Structure formats: C-alpha cells, structure tokens
C-alpha cells in the first residue's frame, strides 16, 4: 500500500524575499523552501512545468520525495504546502519539510470510496457528500499509505460514515481523537426542494 | 431569493471592489465549481437564476451549493423623484464578488453534465467565470 520514494529535482535559489521569488517566477521557476530537521532553511526553485506535471499526477502532499538539489546531498522531504494563484489556481510557492524515514508525521491521506453501485441511497439519486475528502493521520514517513478505503455497500439516504467505520492500515492513527464524520449520503436537491414545498403547503 | 433575515444597518455605502478573494477560492463541498475571474456585484436575482439554470440542467439530480450570499443592500430612488431628500429605500440585495471567488459548487453528476450545467448557470451571472474541478494535490 505504501508508495515508493519518488525523485524530485530542484535548484538552489539565491536570495530570499519577494524580489528574488518574483525573479524566479519570471524565469519559469516556482520558488520554494526546504526547512526542518534542525537545519537552516534552504531556498530552492523548481521548474514550473516540471512541478505542474508532478502536481497533476496527484497526491503531491502525501508523497515522500527524495529531493535532489544540485551540489547538495539528497534529502527526504514531504511537501507541506503549495501556495497557488487565487484566480488561476497555478502554483506560486512550494514548501518542503525534511524528515527521516522512521519519523512520525501528520499527513492528510486521500479517502477513496468504493462500491457506489452497491449503495441503495446512491441508486435512488442520493448524493455522496464527502465531508472530509482527506483525513489527517499520523503515519511513519517510510510507510505512507496511498489512500484509505471506504466501502459504500448498503448505505442508504441519510446514512453517515464515521472514521470508526473505516479499517485503517496498520501503524496509522487519526490525529483527531473523536469519531468524526467522513461522508454522508444526502437526498438530491430536487427531493429536498419537493419536501420543502410540501412542508410549506 | 436570498436575503438577510435581519441587518444591523438598513443602508450601506456603495464602495468599490478591490483585490482578489481572500477566502472562498477553493472547492470545499462538490467536485466542480464556478469561479469568478473579475470583480462585480451579483444580485440575489442573478444568483437565483443561475441556481435554477444549474439544477434544471442537472434534472434535479446531484447537489448544488451556493457559496455566495447577497448581504449588501442596494438602494434606489423611485421614478420621477427629484434629487435630494435623502437616500432611497433598499431596492435589491447583492453580493460583492472578488476575482477567484467560488460561487457555485456541484456534485453527484458526471463531468459532462456538470460542465454544461455550470456553463448555463454562468450565462445568468454578470461576471466572467471559469469552471474548475476539484484537484487531488
């Protein structure tokens, strides 16, 4: 279930602050930073198209990367944030955190829903309202699960799926201590509108 | 149509819309959404018209979320009234939309239906928009 460590290439960025960051963007790079592990932060820049390709592959924030920076030893990192342009949704800055393979980190892991056809609620036209498309879990850096699976078999309209209903991979625990909601099967807007109209009449 | 239940003040200054959206620029509920790319005041009527266009094309399947709320009272003077003698009464309610703001989200329908529904909804709005899909970053 765990994914292999993916290589990621970056270059050293000289200078910090918005002037240097904008200069990097003008040159076709996305400015970024590597921090953590008790070392000094290292400003970097990643090629724009290269980063965008990686982002579009998905699960960028849930993957352990082997970051290769020219002239420096490789480091294992996880991406802690991708800032994006508010209107265009394109990346403007990227944050990486150094980690060891055995360190425990808190990551948002993707939730995958299966067996939509076996849910009577969805068959009747209900909508799967995903309250948490990602769940924050405490995981080991070298063993990050690809996703957690939620089985929708037998779920009717009005049913709620909690974290305790889901089988988590071994060595993984949620960071939130209560039995929180992941999703529910809601009535379609048309049905709700009809019910409201009946109630008003 | 949407409007506040009660307000602290009855009338508001016109103001100007500056900058980009500070919040509400990410998809939070659905799979597809309509995002504004320019600033404008969107009236309650326009929101309702867009909502109807979207839900009708979705044939009452799936679910629609409206992420904007018209909380700005816009006043107007009655016709054939001379200027002066105070500000007019509230004519309609509007929402100030900044570029980047997610206005509608939908879920529970396939991509083709979702994009067409949002396109039809966008035609009822006074802003240029972009259809965005939830990203799995």
> How do residues B24-82 score in pLDDT, each as one tens digit?
999 988 899 999 999 999 999 999 999 999 999 998 788 899 999 999 999 999 999 99
A152-172 pLDDT per residue, tens: 998 889 999 999 988 888 888
Q: Of A76-85, A118-127, A185-194, B122-131, where does the model show the most confidence? A: B122-131
- The topology (CATH level 3) of A104-200 is RNA Polymerase Alpha Subunit; Chain A, domain 2 (2.170.120)
Predicted local confidence at residue A2, as pLDDT: 56
Closest to A9 (Cα-Cα) out of A94, A109, A99: A94
Question: Which residue in A87, A110, A190 is closest to B20 by CB distance?
Answer: A87
Predicted local confidence at residue A95, as pLDDT: 94
Tokens of B23: 């919040």
Q: What is the DSSP string of A40-105?
A: --EEEEEEHHHHHHHHHTS-GGG-EEEEEETTS--EEEEEEEEEE-TTT--EEEEEEEE--TT-EE
Terminal Cα distance for chain A, rounded: 54
Q: Mention every residue, 6+ apart, whose C-beta is less than 8 A from residue A82.
A: A55, A60, A61, A91, A93, A94, A95, B137
Task: Determine the residue among B103, B105, B108, B117 to mutate to test chain A binding: the one whose Cβ has the most chain A Cβ atoms within 10 Å.
Answer: B108
Angle A189-200/B44-57 helices, nearest 10 degrees?
120
Question: Which residue in A87, A89, A188 is closest to B63 by CB distance?
Answer: A188
Name the pTM for this structure.
Answer: 0.80
Is residue A132 within 8 Å of A181, Cβ to Cβ? yes
| pLDDT band, very low/low/confident/very high, at A193 (cuts 50, 70, 90) | low
Q: What span, in angstroms and rounded, lies between the C-alpha atoms of B133 and A137?
A: 25
CB contact under 8 A, B137 and A55: yes
Taking domain A6-98, whether its CATH number is 1.10.1040.10 is answered by: no
B62-72 pLDDT per residue, tens: 889 999 999 99
- Say whether pLDDT at A79 is over 70: yes
Residues of chain A with CATH 2.170.120.20: 104-200
- Say whether pLDDT at A200 is over 90: no
Q: What is the DSSP string of B33-67?
A: EEEE-S-EEEEHHHHHHHHHHHHHHTTT-SEEEE-
B39 contacts chain A (CB < 8 A) = no
Is residue A77 within 8 Å of A63, Cβ to Cβ? no
Query: What mean pLDDT comes out for the span B92-103?
Result: 96
- Say whether pLDDT at A198 is over 70: no
- Sign of the torsion angle spanned by Cα atoms A36, A42, A48, A54: negative
Predicted local confidence at residue A201, as pLDDT: 59
Closest to A93 (Cα-Cα) out of A25, A15, A19, A10: A25
Task: Determine the residue among A30, A60, A87 to mutate to test chain B binding: the one whose Cβ has the most chain B Cβ atoms within 10 Å.
Answer: A87
CB contact under 8 A, B135 and A89: yes
List B residues 104-133 in contact with A (Cβ-Cβ < 8 A): 107-108, 130, 132
DSSP secondary structure code for residue B85 in this structure = S
Q: What span, in angstroms and rounded, lies between the C-alpha atoms of A60 and A47?
A: 15
Rounded to two decimals, the ipTM of the complex is 0.83
Predicted local confidence at residue A107, as pLDDT: 87
Give the DSSP H/E element, type plus range, for residue A198.
Answer: helix A189-200
CB contact under 8 A, B136 and A58: yes
Q: What span, in angstroms and rounded, lies between the C-alpha atoms of B3 and B66?
A: 13
pLDDT, mean over chain A: 87
Residues of chain A with CATH 2.40.240.10: 6-98
DSSP secondary structure code for residue A38 in this structure = T
> How far does the CA of residue A124 sit from the closest CA of chain B (Å)?
10
B56 contacts chain A (CB < 8 A) = no
| pLDDT band, very low/low/confident/very high, at A147 (cuts 50, 70, 90) | confident
Q: What span, in angstroms and rounded, lies between the C-alpha atoms of A92 and B22?
A: 16
Q: Which residues of B touch A87 (CB under 8 A)?
A: 20, 25, 35, 37, 99-100, 130
- Say whether pLDDT at B9 is over 90: yes
CB contact under 8 A, B62 and A189: yes
């Amino acid at each position: 279930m765990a994914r292999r460590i993916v290589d990621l290439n970056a270059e050293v960025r000289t200078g910090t602050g918005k002037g240097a960051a904008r200069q990097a963007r003008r040159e076709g790079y996305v400015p970024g930073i590597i921090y953590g592990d008790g070392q000094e932060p290292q400003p970097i820049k990643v090629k724009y198209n290269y980063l965008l390709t990686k982002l579009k592959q998905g699960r960028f924030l849930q993957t352990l990367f082997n970051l290769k920076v020219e002239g420096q030893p490789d480091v294992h990192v996880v991406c802690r944030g991708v800032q994006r342009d508010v209107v265009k949704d394109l990346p403007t800055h990227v944050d990486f955190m150094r980690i060891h393979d055995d360190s425990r980190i808190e990551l948002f892991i993707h939730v995958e829903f299966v067996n939509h056809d076996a849910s009577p609620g969805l068959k009747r036209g209900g909508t799967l309202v995903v309250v948490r498309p990602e769940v924050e879990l405490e995981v080991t850096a070298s063993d990050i699960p690809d996703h957690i699976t939620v089985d929708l078999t037998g779920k009717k309209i009005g049913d709620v799926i909690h974290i305790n209903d889901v089988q988590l991979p071994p060595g993984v625990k949620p960071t939130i201590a209560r039995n929180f909601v992941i999703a529910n099967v809601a009535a379609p807007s048309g049905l709700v509108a009809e019910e409201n109209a009946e109630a008003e009449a | 149509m949407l409007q506040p239940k009660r307000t602290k003040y009855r009338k508001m200054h016109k103001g100007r819309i500056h900058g980009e959206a500070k919040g509400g620029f990410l998809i939070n509920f659905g799979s597809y959404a309509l995002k504004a790319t320019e600033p404008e005041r969107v009236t309650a009527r326009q929101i309702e018209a867009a909502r109807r266009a979207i839900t009708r094309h979705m044939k009452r399947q799936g679910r629609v979320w409206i992420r904007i709320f018209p909380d700005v009272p816009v006043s107007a003077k009655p016709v054939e009234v001379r200027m002066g003698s105070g500000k007019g009464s509230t004519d309609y309610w509007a929402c100030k939309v900044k570029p980047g703001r997610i206005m509608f989200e939908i879920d529970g329908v396939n991509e083709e239906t979702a994009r067409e529904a949002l396109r039809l909804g966008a035609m009822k709005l006074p802003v240029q928009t972009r259809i965005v899909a939830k990203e799995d970053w």
